[in-house]
C-alpha cells in the first residue's frame, strides 16, 4: 500500500514540482494533504490519515513542540532545506527531525527517506544513534571539548526520594572537576524544583535551563548561546540554573533537553546534571501520547548520560528507597547501568562497620556494587550552605570534600589527587 503523506512546504519555489513528482511517479507515496501551515499540519496529523509529513525548514511557527506532537500522533517527519543551508538543517535536527534532505534531492530519495522514517530505521540525526557505543569508558581521559572539538561527557546525578544528597554531590563533582582542570558545566534539571542557584548563592532571575530549552525548541541553540545562558562561576565552571518553581516543569521537554545536552558536550569536557528523583511513567497519561510528562526530562537525561550516579543515603530507610528506585529504573530503562554512591555514611544507623554492611546490603538487594562512600559531615555542608559556596571553598580539608574530589577525578579520567599527594608526586 502506498504511504500516505502530508506536505507542508508551501511557499518554497520547488513545492509544486516536488509534490507533483512525488505523487505522479511510482515511489509508493501518496500526498494526501498539502498543508499551508503548522496548525493545519497538526490538525491533519490528528485525523490519523497519514503516516508521514514532509516539511520545510522555512515553515513558520515550526518548533520542537510541533515536531513532538507530530511524532506523538504517529506521523514520521522528514525535513527539506534549501540546498547547502547547513544552519536550517541543524535547526530542524535540534527540533527533533532526524532526517533532513536538500530540497533538490531526487523524488525517489525523498520517498525512500519517508518510508525509512515510517519504518523507524535510524536516521542521520544524533538522537537516534546510541551515543554510549561511541564513547570512552570511565577512566579514559576525554579529549578537550573546546570550540569544534570532540564531545564532552555527561554525568547524571540521580537517586531516590528523601534528599540523599544529589544536589550536594552534583555541585561538588562539577566544581572539583573544574578545579582539577576539566572544563565543567553543571546543569540543574530537577523538575521538582531546582535549587542549584540558591546553593551557589547566584541571584538568578531567569532559569538558564528554561531559556536554553526554549532556544532548542526553536532550533537556534548553539554552543555560543548556551555559554551565554550559563553563569561562569569560575574560569572552568559554568552553571545552567534550574526551574526554582516546580510548576514550570512542562518547559523542559525531553527533545529540547537532548539538544541542550548535545550542545553541552561541545561546551564542556564534563557536564554534570542534577536530576529529579522520580522515574515513574505517568500511567494516566499513557493513552494521551501527546501530553507532556513530568518525568520525561529525567528519563531523557538518564538515557543520554554516559554515566548515571545513584546517590543513596546511608541509613536503613534510605537504603531501602535506593533498592526500590534501582528496581524502578531497571523497569523503565533496562539499558541504563547506574553506579551507586552512598552518601552521609556515619556510625550509628547501621550496626557494625557501616561501609561493609551497606555494600553487602546494596549488592544483595539490588545486584549493584557500591562504587563510592561519602562521609556524613554536617559541619562542612552547613558551612557551604550558609556561605552559598562549594565544599572546596569552605571545607577544603574535610573528608567529604576529599572523597568527592576523588570521585570527580575518576569521572574526569584523572588520577586521584590525594594519591598523588601521598606519594609526593605533585
Ligand X SMILES: Nc1ncnc2c1ncn2[C@@H]1O[C@H](COP(=O)(O)OP(=O)(O)OP(=O)(O)O)[C@@H](O)[C@H]1O
Distance CA 348, CA 60 (A): 62
Smallest separation, CB 155 to Mg ion (Å): 15
Question: Binding to ligand X (CB under 6 A): which residues in 226-285?
Answer: 277
Contacts of residue 123, Cβ cutoff 8 Å, sequence gap at least 6: 98, 99, 113, 116, 117
Q: For residue 82, how many other CB atoms are within 10 A of its CB?
A: 16
Smallest separation, CB 387 to ligand X (Å): 12
- What φ, ψ does residue 282 adopt, rounded to 5°? -75, 110
Question: Binding to ligand X (CB under 6 A): which residues in 325-354?
Answer: 343-344
321 binds, among Mg ion, ligand X, none (CB under 5 to 8 A by kind): none
What angle (nearest 5°) sits at the alpha carbon of residue 104, between those of residues 99 and 105?
50
Task: Determine which residue in the list 91, 166, 266, 405 makes contact with ligand X, applying CB under 6 A.
Answer: 166
Smallest separation, CB 282 to ligand X (Å): 19
Candidates 207-215, 321-329, 369-377, 406-414 — which segment interacts with ligand X by CB under 6 A?
369-377
* 118 within 8 A of 75, measured Cβ to Cβ: no
* Residue 164 binds ligand X (CB under 6 A): yes
Cell of 332: 523503565
Of 62 and 170, which has the nearer Cβ to Mg ion?
170
Candidates 1-9, 156-164, 244-252, 298-306 — which segment interacts with ligand X by CB under 6 A?
156-164
Smallest separation, CB 74 to ligand X (Å): 36
Of 34 and 166, which has the nearer Cβ to Mg ion?
166
Smallest separation, CB 19 to ligand X (Å): 51
Count the residues of the shown chain that bind ligand X, applying the rule CB under 6 A.
Answer: 18
Angstrom distances, CA of residue 132 to CA of 11, 127, 329, 401, 414: 40, 11, 18, 29, 20
Angstrom distances, CA of residue 386 to CA of 162, 200, 202, 260, 398: 21, 10, 13, 31, 16
* 177 within 8 A of 272, measured Cβ to Cβ: yes
Task: Determine which residue in the list 166, 253, 389, 401 makes contact with Mg ion, applying CB under 5 A.
Answer: 166
Smallest separation, CB 195 to ligand X (Å): 7
Which residues would be at the binding site for ligand X (CB under 6 A)? Answer: 159, 163-168, 190, 277, 343-344, 374, 376-378, 381, 385, 400
Which residues would be at the binding site for Mg ion (CB under 5 A)? Answer: 166-167
Amino acid at each position: 500500500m502506498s504511504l500516505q503523506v502530508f506536505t507542508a512546504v508551501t511557499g518554497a519555489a520547488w513545492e509544486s514540482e516536488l509534490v507533483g513528482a512525488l505523487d505522479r511517479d511510482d515511489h509508493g507515496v501518496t500526498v494526501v494533504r498539502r498543508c499551508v501551515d503548522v496548525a493545519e499540519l497538526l490538525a491533519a496529523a490528528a485525523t490519523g490519515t497519514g503516516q508521514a509529513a514532509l516539511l520545510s525548514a522555512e515553515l513558520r511557527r515550526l518548533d520542537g513542540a510541533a515536531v513532538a506532537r507530530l511524532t506523538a500522533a504517529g506521523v514520521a517527519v522528514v525535513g527539506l532545506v534549501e540546498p547547502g543551508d547547513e544552519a536550517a538543517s541543524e535547526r530542524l535536527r535540534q527540533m527533533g527531525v532526524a532526517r533532513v534532505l536538500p530540497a533538490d534531492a531526487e523524488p525517489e530519495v525523498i520517498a525512500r527517506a519517508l518510508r525509512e522514517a515510517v519504518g523507524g530505521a535510524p536516521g542521520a540525526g544524533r538522537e537516534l544513534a546510541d551515543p554510549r557505543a561511541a564513547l570512552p569508558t570511565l577512566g579514559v581521559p576525554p579529549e578537550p571539548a573546546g570550540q569544534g572539538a570532540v564531545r564532552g561527557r555527561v554525568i547524571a546525578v540521580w537517586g531516590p526520594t528523601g534528599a540523599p544528597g544529589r544536589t550536594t554531590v552534583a555541585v561538588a563533582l562539577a566544581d572539583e572537576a573544574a578545579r582539577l582542570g576539566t572544563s565543567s558545566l553543571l546543569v540543574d534539571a530537577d523538575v521538582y524544583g531546582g535549587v542549584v542557584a540558591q546553593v551557589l548563592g547566584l541571584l538568578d532571575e531567569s532559569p538558564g535551563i528554561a531559556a536554553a530549552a526554549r532556544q532548542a525548541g526553536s532550533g537556534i541553540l548553539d554552543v555560543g548561546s548556551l555559554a551565554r545562558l550559563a553563569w561562569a562561576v569560575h574560569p572552568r565552571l559554568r552553571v545552567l540554573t534550574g526551574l526554582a518553581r516546580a510548576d514550570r516543569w512542562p518547559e523542559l521537554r525531553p527533545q529540547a533537553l537532548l539538544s541542550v545536552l548535545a550542545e553541552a558536550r561541545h561546551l564542556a569536557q564534563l557536564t554534570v546534571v542534577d536530576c529529579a528523583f522520580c522515574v515513574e511513567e505517568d500511567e494516566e497519561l499513557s493513552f494521551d501520547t501527546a501530553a507532556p510528562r513530568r518525568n520525561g526530562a529525567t528519563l531523557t537525561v538518564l538515557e543520554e548520560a554516559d554515566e548515571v550516579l545513584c546517590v543513596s543515603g546511608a541509613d536503613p530507610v534510605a537504603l531501602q528507597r535506593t533498592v526500590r528506585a534501582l528496581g524502578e529504573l531497571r523497569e523503565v530503562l533496562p539499558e541504563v547501568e547506574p553506579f551507586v554512591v552512598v552518601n552521609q555514611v556515619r556510625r550509628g544507623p547501621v550496626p557494625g562497620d557501616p561501609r561493609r554492611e551497606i555494600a553487602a546490603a546494596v549488592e544483595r538487594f539490588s545486584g549493584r556494587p557500591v562504587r563510592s562512600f561519602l562521609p556524613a559531615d554536617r559541619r562542612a555542608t552547613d558551612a557551604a550552605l550558609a556561605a552559598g559556596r562549594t565544599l572546596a571553598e569552605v571545607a577544603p580539608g574535610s573528608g567529604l570534600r576529599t572523597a568527592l574530589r576523588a570521585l570527580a577525578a575518576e569521572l574526569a579520567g584523572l588520577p586521584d589527587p590525594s594519591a598523588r599527594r601521598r606519594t609526593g608526586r605533585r
